[in-house]
Structures are given as C-alpha cells and as structure tokens.
Amino acid sequence: MSSPYSGATPASATQGLADPSQANYAAAYPATETIGATTAGTGPTTAEGHPDVENTSVGQLISEVTKNLSTLMRQELDLAKAELTVEAKKAGQGAGMFGAAGFAGYMVLMFLSFALWWGLENLMDAGWAALIVAAIWAVIGAVTFSMGRKKFKEVHPKPERTVETLSQVPGALKPN
C-alpha cells in the first residue's frame, strides 16, 4: 500500500525535492523509508508481517514512534511549502498582469486619447469628442480588469493536498 508519508528525509536535506512550480508535489519525497517500519528496514517480523517487538523496550518503541511522527510532520510542512509556493507564484503573475494592464492602459489612454480627441474635434464639439474617447477607454479598462480577476480566481491559497493527507494522520496512528 502506497502512502504519501513514505520517503522520510531529514529536514535539512534538499536533494530529491521536486521543483515546486510543478503540480506533482508527491515527487518531493523519494520512497526510501516507510514510516512505521523498523529502522532501516531491519528486524524480524511476525507471521502477519508486523514488526516483532518482543525483545524491544517500550522506550525504544516510543522513540521510534516519536521519530516517525517528527518525520511525518516535517514532510507535511514541506508539502505545504511547495503548494503555497506554487499558489504564490500564480498570485504574483496575476498582480503583475494588473500592473502591466494599468500602465499600458495609462500610456495608451494618454497618447491615443489626445489623437482621437483632436481627430473627432474636426467633426463635433471638443467636449463630445472627449466624452466619446473616455467611453472607449472605460470599456478597455473593464476588459483588462476582468482578465486580471479571472487570473486571481485560479489561485487556491489553501494547500489542498496537505489538508487531505493530514486528515489521514489519525487513521494512520490507529492499530489495524
């Protein structure tokens, strides 16, 4: 049975961590050790496949459980960091698009508005020409705003995979 908790790595180790910009967060944890297994996969097992703990002290068992829980929490924090990094990147891109749309809109509005206003002034009163130009740029501003809002709606600030795997922790701690 595969588990999102397999592949314990020390908190300071960064080798094998996937690029957080990729959507495959599970790749961040190589399957080298399974939480709950005896240290380094050694030690006898019972007929049911459970570790034989008959000659193991309670202190050693508690130490192993504590180490495994610590590894589990480190992995969950690493997963949350990877997910939040991806979502923060999306939010930054959306904010950049808002900024670029605002600056481009300002420059275009300034130069083309003057040209259009002066061009329409040959056909009608200057006030009506200015009002028509302003209405055109209001429509363009609304379109760029809706594009930026659409990009922000793609951002999911809650690390969904982390929440899902953390909900499995209580079940993993219960004996079968």
Whether 4 has a pLDDT exceeding 50, the answer reads: no
Encode pLDDT of 49-97 as tens digits: 777 777 788 888 888 888 988 999 999 999 989 888 888 998 899 999 9
Query: What radius of gyration, in Å, describes the C-alpha atoms of the chain?
Result: 29
pTM exceeding 0.75: no
What pLDDT, on a 0 to 100 scale, did the predictor assign at position 99? 92
If one counts every other C-beta atom within 10 angstroms of the C-beta of residue 1, the result is 4
DSSP-assigned beta bridge partners for residue 161: none
Encode pLDDT of 93-105 as tens digits: 999 999 998 898 8
